[in-house]
A and B are shown apart, each in its own frame.
Chain A
Amino acid sequence: MPSHDLSSPPKPGQSSCRSCWLAAPGLLWMGLFFLAPLALVFAISFASRGTYGGIVWEFTAANYLDLWHPLYGRILGQSLWYASLTTAICFSLGFPLAYMIARSPARWQPVLLLLVMLPFWTNFLVRTYAWMIVLRQDGLVNGLLLALGIVDAPLELLYTPTAVVIGLVYGYLPFMVLPLYVAVERLDPLLVEAAWDLYASRWAVFTQVVVPLTMPGIVGGCVLVFIPSIGSFITPDLLGGARSMMIGNLIQHEYLVVRDWPLGSAVSFVLMAIVMAAVVLYYRHAARTPGPLEGR
């Protein structure tokens, strides 16, 4: 294919390819402004902090060892806990929802999916702020609880771990529903009927028929919820208190407040390792459904 290159349809694998150079500017950009900064963070995570916050280029693993300090360990631990809890709650809310959507009349399905996705397309800060209004001391939830006589004094809801988990579930529920919907939609209803006919209990139908057959969707949904949850910053920052900090907040704190860049970098790489482990799980076990990752 000597001269015209873009004209003929693509045949991958041509040895010398003029049009391949079109990718160069974009690749260069990503190398310069994505890979290089990451490499920089990695390098700095092995440097040490100067007396006034600068960086001293002496190789040390001290930053990673510092992370075993109970203070940081607690933040890492509770981040994992909040993200796991969020994933579990999203699953228990998302599964019935996905099941109902997949089993409703075909022309309703796109509308229902749109209803689930719509809040997701609005600004994250605004959505999180809405929960601040709802959970405030004089907010809607406390108002209802007081009016119904369930509590005597307003509960402390905002700035607690509970608020953080609620906010995370709210933010990422659509990521769970979409892959689950695809999985349930593919599930043959006759198999479920057969289980009922064979007198399986409701629990047995769920655990022995529905769950195994929708496993790729379950893994996909769980990973897609876990990844943004573990790396979240806005939700714990706005809805959490000083004691419900997550890894993202620790990174911001080390960088902008304490100005300990080497330690902040080490924390960043621990976070990245957790996320990468989840990504590997996703590519190994999840049915890849287009959508959530591409259209964030």
Chain B
Amino acid sequence: MRRGSTGLTLVSGLAMLFLYGPILVLVLYSFNAAHLSMAWRGTTLKWYAALWHDEALLAATVNSLLIAVISTIGATLLGGLMALGMERMPLRRQQLIEGGLVLPLVIPEVMMGVALMLLFVMVKMPLGLTTVMLGHIVFNIPLVTIMIRARLRKLDPALREAAADLGADSWQVFRHVTLPLLRPAIWGAVLVAFTVSLDDFLVTFFTAGPGATTLPLKVYSMIKSGVTPEINALSALLLVISMACVAVSLHLQRREV
């Protein structure tokens, strides 16, 4: 459409500025030598250096990684099995489960957080790393199931039929036909589950005990107290890491097609 295209370009340009402006400002200010003011006092890397010596931050990072690894393994196993198990159910039941799996994705995270906290308090389970992992598995199962199911649906039925006709038993068919075909989807699901767990703030906020500070919880408390510019450096670092992760996952996906 030629007519009105300058207006469109202008609005779109503004939208891009809106999307990337704040991120750029944040990265830029992480190199600002000034301690508290926004005035520019020259470039420095000292806030990045300070991050390396922050022991609490290191501990939070270790917690986050631990939670992400374990909850990803748990969710991938449970979600993957669920996707396989659902394949043969009556259609009605499949739709029912699928609808139910959307629920954890749409209900407000605050609500999921308080509900889990209530459960743990009621059964007198002390809040800590374990409760956080249990919670992270809950929101990751639907993601994994949906992603692996999408791939299962696209598989050519003839491949599994052929293997069975050639005398493979059900385990052999799974091990040598289904699993290799599902591998890209499984790795994709692992990547998504890992990232979502690493990024999660709200469910963690309600289910973590005093000793179970994760990276997002640490970032939150640093933002809230707002006393050191270290938070700028940490934020910039996290931004760069997530963007790199996205780049890697897109690259992987492209290779698989």
Contacts and interface: CB of A to CB of B under 8 A. Distances in A.
Contact of A22 (B18, B82, B147): B82
A122 B138 CA distance: 22
B235 A8 contact: no
Contact of A251 (B110, B158, B163, B246): B110
Contacts of B100: 30
B86 A23 contact: yes
Given A24-B85, A251-B114, A123 B105 contact: no
Interface stretch (B41-49, B50-58, B116-124): B116-124
Residue among A129, A202, A231 with most chain B CB within 10 A: A129
B84 A127 contact: no
Say which size band chain A's interface belongs to: 35 or more
Interface string B137-156: 11001110111001010010
Interface string B15-37: 11011111101100100000001
Contacts of B4: 202
B88 A19 contact: yes
A34 B15 contact: no
Contacts of B252: none
Contact of B223 (A10, A11, A132): A132
B88 to A, nearest CB: 5
Given A30-B141, A41-B114, A136-B38, A130 B22 contact: yes
A116 B79 CA distance: 30
B91 to A, nearest CB: 5
Contact of B146 (A6, A264, A294): A294
A33 to B, nearest CB: 5
Contacts of B199: 123-124
A251 B114 CA distance: 8
A234 B14 CA distance: 25
A129 to B, nearest CB: 5
Given A125-B201, A255-B117, A33 B173 contact: no
B9 interface: yes
A5 B199 CA distance: 38
Nearest to B102: A293
A59 interface: no
B108 A248 contact: yes
A40 B15 contact: no
B104 interface: yes
B138 to A, nearest CB: 5
A25 B86 CA distance: 12
A100 B8 contact: yes
Nearest to B172: A7
Interface in B165-210: 168-174, 178, 192, 195-196, 199, 201-202, 206
B12 interface: yes
A196 interface: yes
A20 B190 CA distance: 23
Contact of A123 (B81, B192, B242): B242
A220 B3 CA distance: 27
Interface string A23-59: 1111101100110111011001000000000000000
B78 interface: yes
Given A3-B170, A4-B169, A29-B78, A227 B106 contact: yes
A62 to B, nearest CB: 19
A88 interface: no
A21 B85 CA distance: 6
Interface stretch (A66-74, A211-219, A267-275): A267-275
B83 to A, nearest CB: 8
A290 B147 CA distance: 11
A242 interface: no
Interface in B54-70: none
A126 B219 contact: yes
Residue among A33, A173, A196, A294 with most chain B CB within 10 A: A33
A178 interface: no
Contacts of B250: 114
A30 B138 contact: yes
22 contacts: A4-B173, A7-B169, A10-B152, A11-B88, A20-B86, A22-B81, A29-B138, A34-B138, A93-B18, A115-B16, A121-B195, A121-B242, A126-B239, A134-B21, A170-B22, A173-B15, A231-B108, A234-B201, A255-B114, A268-B111, A272-B111, A293-B105
Interface of A: 3-14, 17, 19-27, 29-30, 33-34, 36-38, 40-41, 44, 93-94, 96-97, 99-101, 103, 114-116, 118-119, 121-127, 129-134, 136, 138-140, 143, 170, 173, 189, 192, 196, 202, 227-228, 230-234, 238, 247-248, 251-252, 255, 261, 264-265, 268, 271-272, 275, 279, 290, 293-296
Given A33-B137, A227-B106, A261-B118, 11 more contacts: A6-B171, A7-B169, A8-B164, A10-B152, A12-B94, A23-B81, A96-B11, A122-B238, A130-B22, A255-B117, A275-B106
